Structure 1
């Protein structure tokens, strides 16, 4: 029961950090009100999808336990592999949804970037203050630099280019932290260097494709 309560409290913290992220995005965004609302609805939808996929991943990873005692799965924490599963599942559904509705994926990236950067910073600040996790300091510095960079340059560069640049800097920064510190976490989940390296490779491929499109 305590494990379930702990999990629910951690989910509540993440929800609160994203609410603050949404509020920050709403205040600083130059988009019309209707478009802001639409972007926030899309981000909230993706957040809900992530939690659903996180539970699905947890069930898949503990399938034998789930078959024997479905309620027992509530006591099992969602590990990093469940996080990876949820991340890629959300990415695939978001891309599919965007393609099906014939909309530009990058049109939402500015909103996602600002919201996630703020939510991540608030989460790490809570970890530092609440549980005295000093490993949060390095990540907080990285997030602060990225957020400042985005706010200063977002009106001077194309959204797709800015998104890819920020993703690459973020991934390289976390990779460096992963080698400097015993571990690095994203919203409480320990992230392995191989996962970060895979995402970095995907981003670099996307940059090459983006450059080729410009040339052609």
Structure 2
């Protein structure tokens, strides 16, 4: 039963991101070639994210892995593995940006579109199908972010739009933590301290970017 529930949760997540990628491909103003490149890059980074979660799960449960490696397959990923994956993914993107291996501005704009659509669909399914009342709060936050994201088009750079959405998402998650016993991202329970650190980092990035433009 637990295994079936886990597989179903993964299936919902995969389905949500597939729809997110499809809507991006259909709605983006990029050329067909550019859209294909962005879809491939997003899929690549999502695969990396999953791999990093598994690496984090092994490292954070190294004693279990040494005694019984197969037990790791059944051991559920927790928030610590999620944080580990976020950190490593951030390093990978920063490295590729510094080495000029990717158009980071186009990527982050494309990714935020996919992320918002996938997040909304995932929470909607959880709310309607699995009767998860806490998903409603996440849906409200995501819908607000979607509206803001659409209104920002043409007024601010893709770079600033991305980090602004991340800041607003962090604020939304913090507010939800005040009225809910826990907050989640794609089923992973996250702590308020993580949201705070995430918010601080993105505010600093926006500040440094604005300061650089003013110099």
TM-score band, normalised by the shorter chain?
Answer: over 0.9
For residues 102 and 11 of structure 1, the distance between their equivalents in structure 2, rounded to whole angstroms, comes to 30
Residue 203 of structure 1: aligned partner: 202
Which residue number in structure 2 is paired with residue 101 of structure 1? 100
- TM-score, with structure 2 as normaliser: 0.95
Shift of 1:153: 2.3
Q: How far apart, in 1, do the equivalents of 2:92 and 2:3 lie? A: 28
Cα deviations across residues 50-80 of structure 1 (Å, max 9, x unaligned)? 1101111111111111111111111110000
In the alignment, structure 1 segments of 5+ residues that lack a partner are: none
The question of whether the paired residues in 2 share the 8 Å contact of 1:4 and 1:74 is answered with no
Deviations 1:75-110 (A, max 9, x none): 110000000001111111111122223544222111
Counterpart of 2:8 in structure 1 is: 9
User: What is the CA deviation profile of residues 98-134 of structure 1, one whole-angstrom value per residue up to 9, with x for unaligned ones?
Assistant: 2223544222111011100000000101111122111
- Equivalent positions of 1:1-216 (< 5 A) are 2-101=1-100, 103-216=102-215
1:170-204 CA distance string (max 9 Å, x none): 11011110121101100000110100100111011
| Between 3-12 and 90-99, the greater mean CA deviation after superposition | 3-12
Structure 1, 171-180 or 7-16: larger mean CA deviation: 7-16
Q: Helix, strand or coil: the match of 2:70?
A: helix
Q: How many residues matched?
A: 215
Shift of 1:28: 1.2
Q: Return the offset for 1:154.
A: 1.4
Give the match's secondary structure for 1:185.
Answer: strand
How far apart, in 2, do the equivalents of 1:155 and 1:54 lie?
36
Unpaired runs of at least 5, structure 2 = none
Q: Report the CA distance between 1:137 and its aligned residue.
A: 0.7
Q: Distance in 1 between matches of 2:29 and 2:103?
A: 18
RMSD over aligned CA atoms reads 1.3
Taking the aligned partners of 1:67 and 1:50, their CA distance within structure 2 comes to 23
Distance in 1 separating the partners of 2:5 and 2:95: 34
User: How far apart are residue 9 of structure 1 and its match?
Assistant: 2.6
